[in-house]
């Protein structure tokens, strides 16, 4: 059974109401209803030079919305202004005009993506826990973990679907406007990674180097902590995203004290991003603020496992400046960042009187997420010199931040990574790479294009989306057959790319 009903029953007692892909009033009634008139006109493309794009629409810039133009040359933004007509590269560029909104690709700073062939339909523990130490022994979770490890070749097995599993996770992120996401601490790097969205915590992230370190627990020794701090000093690590305080009991809360005690507190530093921090309070948040530390918040996953979530209100009151939002995984977390934005907004409205404005929530999945991952010099905002990771959305430009809180993959007209159009509406398919070609994909009743396969026949890069899905489905079915005699419930069907309303 899907666990949404279980979450609802718990949260109605004082938290919030979750409603899948829809989200109720995203502003708590403070904004006027959007005018649907702008939706009538789809984006228009005027073909020109390949590798150069001039996009027109409402740009969401660091200083706020601007009706203007954005020039992409290769993988870089070379002009962001009211007009780019004087820019040399604008002449002869492919022009895309939209009546909607253009914003930077979102960054998911906390996702165990290799679990994302599963979702809540595969695991329903039926209870809440005190900390992350308590649920890992759950029988059904262990069954899902065994299946993931077998298919992902984490153990000796005749099956190696690491490329297919990663690309499926990247695609789930991509179609929702997420152009960078984290895979997992210690994941084996393969050449097929980052062929769609950027797998940001690998050397194949397309940024030239990997300066992000991730960990599922506090360093176990002082020397391990000191090694990380030495990498801060050497400039070989811009960010360290570490799970701390996941849960609601003293065991979870004491993890912060352990982090602080390692190597004379050297990890209390601006480069350190705390993942979860659900058990933390005023004292811990105050220390984080003084040290300039960052926080990565996964509300739906917290509520699913612990019936509570991180005290973002206390974190803001303490003065923590950088707070990012991320789904954790689809196994009890949100399917994508658009879904997680709705959950975060509903928690803000229900618990904290709307402390998080729609614009602040937007920052939490763009520039603040980039800061938490140490990549804000290249990603997270529409600025000249940054990478061309961007999204065109058919949402109301008169109130873009609010409109984003009700958006779904259905509303995205184009998603571009490193200047390459990889997903979008059929009206813009002409902008996509012609070789080896793109596929059509049904998303909640609408037909979109998606460009998955590459020309290279090495490292499974030439797989199409249809081929990836076929491989995953058939191997999940084979796995079900193999373990059926052990009384293991089926792992099929494959978790969908998106949950439709």
Domains and CATH numbers, the chain: 36-105+380-460 (2.30.40.10), 108-372 (3.20.20.140)
Residue-level pLDDT at 187: 66
What is the pLDDT, as a whole number, of residue 494?
A: 97
Helix axes 299-306, 4-11, angle to 10 degrees: 80
pLDDT at res. 24: 36
pLDDT at 4: 37
Give the pLDDT confidence score for residue 184 in this predicted structure. Answer: 72
Which of the residues in the chain have pLDDT under 70? Answer: 1-40, 185-187
CB of 224 within 8 A of CB of 261?
no
Cis-peptide into 103, omega within 30 deg:
no
Q: What are the pLDDT digits (tens) for 42-68?
A: 999 999 999 999 999 999 999 999 999
In terms of C-beta density within 10 A (0-12 exposed, 13-18 middle, 19 or more buried), how is residue 35 classed?
Answer: exposed
**Pairing relation of β-strands 446-450 and 420-425?**
antiparallel
The token duo for 487 is 């009384």
Half-sphere exposure of 396 (CA within 13 A, CB side): 14
């Amino acid at each position: 059974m899907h666990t949404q009903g279980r979450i609802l029953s718990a949260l109605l007692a004082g938290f919030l109401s979750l409603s899948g892909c829809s989200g109720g009033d995203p502003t708590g009634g403070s904004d006027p209803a959007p005018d649907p008139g702008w939706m009538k006109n789809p984006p228009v493309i005027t073909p020109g030079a390949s590798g150069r794009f001039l996009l027109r629409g409402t740009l969401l810039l660091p200083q706020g919305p601007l009706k203007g133009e954005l020039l992409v040359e290769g993988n870089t933004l070379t002009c962001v202004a009211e007009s780019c007509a004087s820019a040399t590269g604008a002449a002869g560029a492919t022009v895309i005009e939209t009546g909607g909104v253009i914003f930077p690709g979102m960054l998911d700073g906390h996702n165990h993506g290799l679990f994302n062939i599963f979702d809540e339909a595969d695991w329903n523990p039926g209870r809440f826990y005190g900390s992350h130490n308590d649920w890992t022994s759950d029988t059904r979770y262990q069954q899902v973990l065994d299946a993931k490890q077998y298919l992902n070749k984490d153990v000796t097995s005749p099956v190696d679907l690491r490329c297919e599993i990663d690309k499926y996770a990247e695609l789930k992120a991509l179609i929702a406007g997420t152009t960078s996401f984290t895979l997992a601490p210690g994941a084996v790097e393969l050449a097929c990674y980052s062929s769609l969205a950027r797998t940001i915590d690998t050397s194949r992230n397309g940024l030239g180097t990997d300066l992000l370190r991730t960990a599922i627990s506090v360093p176990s020794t002082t020397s391990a902590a000191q090694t990380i701090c030495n990498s801060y000093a050497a400039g070989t690590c811009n960010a360290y995203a570490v799970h701390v305080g996941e849960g609601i009991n003293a065991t979870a809360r004491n993890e912060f004290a352990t982090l602080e005690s390692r190597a004379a507190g050297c990890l209390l530093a601006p480069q350190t991003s705390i993942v979860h921090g659900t058990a933390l309070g005023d004292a811990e948040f105050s220390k984080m603020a003084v040290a300039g530390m960052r926080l990565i918040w996964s509300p739906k996953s917290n509520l699913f496992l612990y019936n509570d979530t991180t005290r973002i209100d206390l974190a803001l009151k303490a003065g923590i400046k950088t707070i990012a939002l991320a789904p954790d995984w689809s196994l009890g977390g949100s399917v994508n960042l658009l879904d997680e934005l709705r959950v975060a907004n509903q928690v803000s409205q229900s618990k904290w009187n709307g402390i998080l404005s729609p614009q602040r929530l937007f920052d939490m999945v763009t520039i603040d997420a980039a800061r938490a991952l140490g990549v804000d010099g290249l990603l997270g905002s529409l600025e000249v010199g940054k990478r061309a990771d961007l999204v065109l959305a058919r949402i109301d430009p008169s109130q873009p931040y609010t409109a984003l809180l009700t958006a779904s993959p259905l509303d995205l007209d184009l998603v571009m990574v490193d200047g390459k159009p990889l997903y979008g509406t059929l009206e813009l398919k002409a902008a996509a790479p012609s070789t080896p070609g793109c596929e059509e994909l049904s998303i909640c009743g609408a037909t979109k294009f998606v460009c998955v396969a590459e020309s290279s026949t090495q490292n499974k890069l030439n797989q199409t989306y249809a081929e990836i899905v076929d491989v995953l489905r058939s191997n999940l079915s084979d796995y079900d057959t193999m373990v059926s005699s052990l009384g293991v419930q089926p792992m099929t069907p494959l978790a969908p790319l998106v949950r439709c309303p």
